[in-house]
Amino acid sequence: MKIQNPIIRGFNPDPSVCRVGADYYLATSTFAYFPGVPIYHSRDLACWRLIGHALDRPSQLDLTKADNAGGIFAPTLRYHDGRFYMVTTRMGGKGNFLVTAKNPSGPWSEPIWIDAENFDPSLLFDDDGTVYYTRRAHQSVVQATINPVTGELTSPLQTISGNFVATDIEGPHLYQINGFYYLVAAEGGTRSGHCVTVGRSSSPWGPFESCPANPVLSHRSLSGNPIRDTGHAEFIQTEDGSWVVFFLAARASNYEGFPHLGRETYVAPLEWRDGWPVINGEKPITFDLDIPTGSLEPHPWPTEPSRDEFDAPVLSSGWIHLRNPPEGSFSLTERPGFLRLHGTKHALSEPAPVAFVGRRQTEFVQRLCAQIEFDPLRESDEAGISVFMNERHFYALAITGERGGTRRIIVRRRVDDFYIVAAESPVPAGLVTLAIDGERGCYHFRYRVSDGEWQSLGSFVSKHLAPEMAGTWTGVVWALYATGNGEPCAAPADYDWCEWPV
Q: What is the pLDDT along the chain (502 residues), one digit of tens a residue?
A: 889 999 999 999 999 999 999 999 999 999 999 999 999 999 999 999 999 999 999 999 999 999 999 999 999 999 999 999 999 999 999 999 999 999 999 999 999 999 999 999 999 999 999 999 999 998 899 999 999 999 999 999 999 999 999 888 999 999 999 999 999 999 999 888 999 999 999 999 999 999 999 999 999 999 889 999 999 999 999 988 999 999 999 999 776 778 999 999 999 999 999 999 999 999 999 999 988 776 788 899 999 999 999 999 999 999 999 999 999 999 999 999 999 999 999 999 999 999 999 999 999 999 999 999 999 999 999 999 999 999 999 999 999 998 677 899 999 999 999 999 999 999 998 899 999 999 989 999 999 999 899 999 999 999 999 999 999 999 999 999 999 999 999 999 999 999 999 9
Contact present, 432 and 415 (Cβ < 8 Å): no
Residues annotated as catalytic (active site), given as ranges: 14, 170
**SS3 label, residue 392:** coil
* Three-state secondary structure of 258-319: CCCCCEEEEEEEEEEECCEEEEHHHCCCCCEEECCCCCCCCCCCCCCCCEECCCCCCCCCCC
**SS3 label, residue 38:** strand
Residue 453: how many other CB atoms lie within 10 Å: 7
What does the alpha-carbon distance between residue 10 and residue 294 come to, in Å, rounded to a whole number?
A: 28
Per CATH, which fold does 2-290 belong to?
A: Tachylectin-2; Chain A (2.115.10)
What does the alpha-carbon distance between residue 320 and residue 185 come to, in Å, rounded to a whole number?
A: 29
Q: Degrees (nearest 5) of the Cα angle 235, 363, 419?
A: 115
Contact present, 265 and 248 (Cβ < 8 Å): yes
Q: Which amino acid makes up residue 489?
A: C
Phi then psi for residue 469, to 5 deg, are -80, -35
Element (H, E) at 470: helix 467-470
Q: Which residues contact 94 (CB under 8 A, 6 or more apart)?
A: 113, 116
Contact present, 152 and 146 (Cβ < 8 Å): yes
Domain ranges of the chain: 2-290, 307-499
DSSP string computed for 85-101? EEEEEEETTTEEEEEEE
Buried b (16+ CB within 10 A) or exposed e, 75-100: bbbbbeeeebbbbbbbbebebbbbbb
What does the alpha-carbon distance between residue 137 and residue 122 come to, in Å, rounded to a whole number?
A: 13
pTM of the model: 0.97
Contact present, 472 and 383 (Cβ < 8 Å): no
Element (H, E) at 468: helix 467-470
Residues of the chain by 3-state class (helix, strand, coil), percent to 5:
0, 50, 50
What does the alpha-carbon distance between residue 249 and residue 479 come to, in Å, rounded to a whole number?
A: 24
CB hemisphere CA count around 456 (13 angstroms):
6
Cα torsion angle, 326, 332, 335, 337, sign: positive
Per CATH, which fold does 307-499 belong to?
A: Jelly Rolls (2.60.120)
**SS3 label, residue 464:** helix
What does the alpha-carbon distance between residue 14 and residue 36 come to, in Å, rounded to a whole number?
A: 13
Contact present, 3 and 253 (Cβ < 8 Å): no
Residue 401: how many other CB atoms lie within 10 Å: 21
